[in-house]
Amino acid sequence: MTQPWYRQFWPWFIIALPTTAVIGSVATAIIASKDGVNLVAEDYYKQGKEINQDLSKFDRAQALNIRFMLEVQGSELTLKPISGEIPTGQALYLSLFHPTLAGQDSEYLITADANGTYRFHFDPPLSGKWHIRVDAFDHEWRLQETVQFPTQAPVELDPKGR
């Protein structure tokens, strides 16, 4: 007695192969359209030339001996000046750059409290690897460091962290 085709193994096996390929292709297309590649800039040569100009800001921070201690507790980021000539009440630019997701990059203008400490609240808290950059309000100097969040230990931002 022979069984109908839909009760046999081999027809379903043959149908399953192209079906899995179609499902995989659709999933790949969805992922590719949602998360585009942002690793290489179109004007990479121009950006490379600009790096040399940016190094002067690190040199200026080193000449002024500017250093900060970065601490993260939950969703609060705190920047405390350790040393250097930072004018009282000067605002700072805090820039956050994700290594691979350019859409998550952001820049904030932060001000100091009465103790000279700079605070910023994130919602939601940061996680993963981030490049943290702190610039003077007048863009005279710059500090930069790569930080893995969440971090329990304070991180020192100094001019050598280029």
The Cα diameter of the chain in Å comes to 94
Residue pLDDT tens, the chain, 162 long = 588 988 999 999 999 999 999 999 999 999 888 876 665 556 666 666 666 667 888 888 889 999 999 998 888 899 999 988 787 778 999 999 888 888 888 999 999 998 889 999 988 878 889 999 999 999 899 999 998 888 888 898 888 765
Segment holding 65, helix H or strand E:
none
Task: Output the DSSP codes for 16-38.
Answer: HHHHHHHHHHHHHHHHHHHS---
Dist CA 108 CA 76 (whole Å): 14
30-35 contacts: CB < 8 A, separation 24 or more? 35/101
Residue linked to tokens 């290594």: 99
pTM for this model (two decimals): 0.68
**CA nearest to 84, candidates 104, 98, 53, 63:** 63
